[in-house]
Structure 1
């Protein structure tokens, strides 16, 4: 006879670090429910709380699987509405380097990266050396449990994988690693990424009162274009700006060509998802010249930003508008330096990113502070005019002003000089 599954499990997004998930258990057989949750990847952070935090950001997907498993065993489960919305939303990585993979195949790659992360975090995989090969973080390590294997790793977070070659001894693996990466080799594991640090902090545990006594802090939502706004902007372009001509080679595509024959904008009427490219804009060196630069804008991009790009192409300013960094600094956006890029963020709602060594996506402006789950994205290639970047930054700052922007103090006004009453004339006797 099995004990009755008399326990209740409530699932909700972590209030500070979504899409991580919190499970709160209650009832006489909650220990049994917690055992099943542990097998599903949840880790205990208190007597009644468990957390699921992953480096592949797939917590809602695996939470849904855990809830179904608990229901099969007879436990009562409850999923908060915000978490249910995340479960129902089939998102994709915005900059996934293997676009040919299906969603299930992407999850397989990410699950393997999660396994490697867990093996390192729990001491089953010992990292001896690491290096930067110019594109990825690479490492060499040995499994200390089970079949002893010595492997090379490449990539970070949800993209970390084992190389195909396994070595018979640690010495062979280390020697080959030194041969491949030479002076770039460094001892021990690479520093934790920001995502790894967040995951480990969440799994370290937070007092349960944090989740019960305090309401979740509302996240700052980036501005997003409403349905139909892009179509209206395109129609206004042809109705009010006579220098643009319309071509529609396909039912789903409209092309706007400028009278100078050096600028072209293509609009996809079928774009629906936040990662779908709605606009492709390019400028050329003369009517039959080479392309100077190009940009892509996804479906949720606010129309004010699209209008800024089109207006700049139609009538570029004669005088320089300064640098985008200067505009954002004056607007009070938060700067952050990374190994290969610089970002400016306004209250976690809009991010402006510069990757100086990139060609296709040298500049990016996107809604939110996480490119992988951005609400919308503008990508601009190398060669984009600095005046356009500055105008984009200015429009973004107006669209979402930073709450930390210092308010200038009023200048003290000089004290007013009191006017004396006019002299009273004296009468002569």
Structure 2
């Protein structure tokens, strides 16, 4: 597992890259990215979940299918997020319409490519997001479910949860972000 933070990244660009590898020299099995404006509570919960879970390093995470999508998004459904689907996209939008999750079913059909299958956002809309987090097809559904559980309860989007689970990491907050490039290659050495 490698977690990379690019300290000087603009807020609208990728600042965090999490990637799991089968071996130290192999291509990553799954990856997750976050823009520089991703709120500290979201990053904190994600980093704690990564530190707590042994399954994140497992090689060849389960391929994404209807079962894994349902398992990952159960917290959104339970919190009353609106669910819509068309030929390519499955979307969940918060009741306040200030956060959402988007699943690209077309990209999910090509899990060996390094493309964002999941997009998580907060802000006025996906096109004008304050921050964005993306994940590849093989990102463990249990890790995504934890992220979505926190998102559904407002961590880092509208309000902070009433009971913070962990001691704050004191991560800097940044101004709003706008876009996130799709990661295309294995991350380089820590900068």
TM-score, normalisation: structure 2: 0.64
- 1:266 matches 2:14: no
Which residue among 99, 103, 106 is the counterpart of 1:354? 103
C-alpha deviations, 1:35-63, integer Å up to 9, x for none? xxxxxxxxxxxxxxxxxxxxxxxxxxxxx
Moved over 6 A (4+): none
1:366 to 115, 121, 134: 121
Equivalent position to 2:136, from 336, 360, 381: 381
1:396 alignment partner, SS class = helix
Residue 392 of structure 1: aligned partner: 147
Q: Are 2:46 and 1:297 aligned?
A: no
User: SS where residue 34 of structure 2 aligns?
Assistant: strand
Instruction: Give 1:272 deviation, angstroms.
Output: 3.2
Q: Take 1:345 and 1:393, find their aligned partners in 2: how far apart are those partners?
A: 11
User: How far apart are 1:384 and its partner, in Å?
Assistant: 0.3
Distance 2:145 2:124 in 1: 20
Corresponding residue number in structure 1 for 2:50: 313
By how many angstroms is 1:311 displaced? 2.1
Instruction: Tell me if the contact between 1:351 and 1:369 (Cα under 8 Å) persists in the aligned partners.
Output: no
CA 1:390/1:317 → structure 2, altered by over 3 Å: closer, same or farther?
Answer: farther
The answer to whether the 8 Å contact 1:350/1:368 transfers is yes
Measure how far apart 1:369 and its partner are: 5.4
Contact 1:317 1:387 (C-alpha < 8 Å) held by counterparts: no
CA contact (8 A) 1:345 1:369 kept: no
Between the aligned partners of 1:290 and 1:267, the Cα distance in structure 2 is: 19
The alpha carbon displacement at 1:373 in A equals 1.3
Alignment length, in residue pairs?
137
Match of 2:18 in 1: 281
The structure whose residues are more often helix, as a share, is 1
Q: Classify the secondary structure of the residue corresponding to 1:265.
A: strand
Superposition map of 1:22-41 within 5 A: none
Partner residue in 2 for 1:332 = 80
User: Measured at CA, do residues 283 and 390 of structure 1 come closer, stay the same or move farther in structure 2, by a change above 3 Å?
Assistant: same
Within-5 A mapping of 1:53-68: none
User: Matches of 1:304 and 1:285 in 2, distance apart?
Assistant: 29
Distance between the aligned counterparts of 2:28 and 2:121, measured in 1? 24
Q: CA deviation at 1:357?
A: 2.2
> Equivalences for 1:235-274 in 2 at 5 Å?
263-273=1-11
SS of residue in 2 equivalent to 1:393:
helix
**Unaligned ranges ≥5, structure 1:** 1-262, 403-429
- Which one scores higher on RCO, CA 8 angstroms, separation ≥ 6? 2
